[in-house]
Amino acid sequence: MVERQTPVFIVTAGRCGSTLLSNLLSRHPDILSLSEVFMAVNTHAFVYNRLDGEAFWRLLSTPRRAMSETLTPTTCPHEFVYDFSRSRLFTQKTLPPILYMMLPPLSPEPDVLFFELEAAITSRPKAPLSEQYEFMFSWLCQRLGKKIWIERSGASLLFVPALARLYPNAKFIHLFRDGRDVALSMQSYPPLRLLAQSWRSAKRFGVDLLEPPFRIGESRIISVAERFLSPIYGAGDKLRRTSTAAEIGEFWSAMTLLGLRHLDKIPDEQKLSVSYEGLVRTPRQSLRQLIDFVGPLDGTAEWLEDACNAFQPGKGRKRALDGPELDALTRACEPGLTALGYHIGEARIPETAA
């Protein structure tokens, strides 16, 4: 019997320090820190209402061309963590989505864990999608000797509507950052840069990929279209396409407003807001607040000391821009910055931050 727990999700616009936070949480002996589960299956993450075990496994393990071309050891050297040199089972084109980033950090033998998970999931009967995901997370917890699981995916603000609907009792940690720094980081990160470009391109045809019936992750229309268009329109040319910081800032702002709109509907006791700037300024206080929100756990004092010693934040980028470029980026980000409580002139930590 796999024990159930209260779901915990870290939601973010991406490039906000969520990888850093996820890595710190993974150092806790009782926490299973899961990375990029929903982003791995991307446009298919929440399309289906009910699936049997075999269909759910196909969702998790079927290679997709768009991802294999976009997320590679070359384009994303820090995020792509599967080590091809240690395994001859898969190639870049045949690698299952959950082996890109989810399973390798959990085990020195991710392929073994992959096939164990396959056996556990494919024998499952038909059930709601929420139960299938929850079973997988809880099974991994039990298999790896952890007490609770926390999932975080880049750009998961897109998924807040679906997650809140599927898991009404879930806890949400909203990690956010000054959108100008986020936009500049997205410029050099192909998966999110392409997402921003796709959103802008679709808007020209009256399609909003952040809203129903086309919202990424929930839209059957988009998931089917991707299947047919990927063989025709590969990611090669798109990867070479550039975007201005302001163009990406506009996307960040729209995604932030979407996430906040749906987070506002969640009871206060089920959500926590943490700014990246606050995390950098007062890591001990911020991490203490976060771990207390997650729930009472053994070994927290030792973990807190270890996490603070291991804490190594990146540097902001917006100050490298000149006046006109920074002004354009600030205007593009202003709706999201205002909604988060940032002061537009000088970057200040919002009052809602830890």
pLDDT (tens digit per residue) in 248-276: 999 999 999 999 999 999 999 999 999 99
Q: Residue 320 has what pLDDT?
A: 64
Nearest to 351 by CA among 296, 267, 273, 266: 273
Q: Is the dihedral of CA 11, 13, 18, 19 positive or negative?
A: positive
Nearest-angstrom CA–CA distance, 196 and 333: 13
pTM for the model stands at 0.92
Categorize the per-residue pLDDT at 349 as very low, low, confident or very high, splitting at 50, 70 and 90: very low
Residue 279 has pLDDT above 60, yes or no: yes
Q: Which residues contact 57 (CB under 8 A, 6 or more apart)?
A: 118, 121, 122
- Kindly indicate whether the domain formed by 8-340 is annotated with CATH number 2.30.30: no
pLDDT at residue 44 tops 80: yes
Q: What average pLDDT does the segment 36-57 reach? A: 95
Q: In this structure, are residues 214 and 161 in contact, taking their beta carbons and an 8 Å threshold?
A: no
Start-to-end C-alpha separation, the chain? 37
For 36, half-sphere exposure in the C-beta direction (CA atoms, 13 angstrom radius) is 23
C-beta separation of 275 from 289 below 8 A: no
Percentage with pLDDT > 70 across the chain: 90
* Neighbour tally for 346: CB within 10 Å: 6
Give yes or no for a cis peptide into 63 (omega within 30° of 0).
no
Tokens of 154: 């880049």
CA distance 114 to 161: 29
Query: CB-based burial of residue 30 (10 Å sphere; 0-12 exposed, 13-18 middle, 19+ buried)?
Result: middle
Pick 314 or 353 by higher pLDDT: 314
- Residue 175 · residue 156 · CB < 8 Å: no
296, with CB counted inside 10 A (0-12, 13-18, 19+), is exposed
pLDDT, mean of residues 267-291:
95
Q: What is the dihedral of CA 43, 255, 105, 27, to 10 degrees?
A: -150
Stretch 161-185: mean pLDDT: 96
DSSP at 305? H
Q: Which of 4-18, 113-127, 233-247, 320-334 has the highest mean pLDDT?
A: 113-127
What is the spatial distance between Cα 214 and Cα 202, in angstroms, rounded to a whole number? Answer: 10
Mean pLDDT of the chain, nearest integer: 89
For residue 220, the surrounding DSSP H or E stretch is: helix 220-229
Task: Assign 204 to helix, strand or coil.
Answer: coil
For residues 72-90, give the mean pLDDT: 86
pLDDT at 259: 97
* Residue 104: pLDDT band with limits 50, 70, 90: very high
**In the predicted structure, residue 319 carries a pLDDT above the cut 60:** no
The yes-or-no verdict on residue 152 having pLDDT over 90 is yes
Chain-centroid distance of CA 46 in Å reads 14
Q: Per-residue confidence at 241, pLDDT binned at 50, 70, 90?
A: confident
**pLDDT over 80 at 352, yes or no:** no
Answer yes or no: is pLDDT of 343 > 90: no
Condensed to tens digits (0 to 9), the pLDDT of residues 7-31 reads: 999 999 999 999 999 999 999 999 9
Is residue 270 within 8 A of residue 258, CB to CB? The reply is no
**Span of 53-67, 73-87, 105-119 with lowest mean pLDDT:** 73-87
Say how far apart CA 102 and CA 10 lie, in whole Å.
15
pLDDT band at 72 (very low <50, low <70, confident <90, very high): confident
Dist CA 162 CA 114 (whole Å): 26
Tens of pLDDT, residues 220-240: 998 887 765 554 345 556 666
Mean pLDDT value of segment 281-290: 95
Sign of CA pseudo-dihedral 339, 341, 342, 343:
positive
